[in-house]
Amino acid sequence: DIQMTQSPSSVSAFVGDRVTITCRATQDISRWLAWYQQKPGKAPKLLVYSATTLQGGVPSRFSGSGSGTDFTLTISSLQPEDFATYYCQQANSFPVTFGQGTRLEIK
Q: Which of 36, 37, 62, 64 binds other proteins (CB under 8 A)?
A: 36
Looking at beta carbons only, is 17 or 72 nearer to other proteins?
72
CA–CA distances in Å: residue 76 to residues 13, 81, 87: 12, 14, 18
Q: How far apart are CA 34 and CA 14, in angstroms?
A: 25
Question: Binding pattern to other proteins, positions 65-104, x when CB under 8 A?
Answer: ----------------------x-x-xxxxxxxxxxx---
- By CB under 8 A, the count of residues binding other proteins is 25
CB neighbour class for 45 (10 Å; exposed up to 12, middle 13-18, buried from 19) = middle
Query: Which residues lie near other proteins (CB under 8 A)?
Result: 1, 32, 34, 36, 38, 43-46, 49-50, 55, 87, 89, 91-101
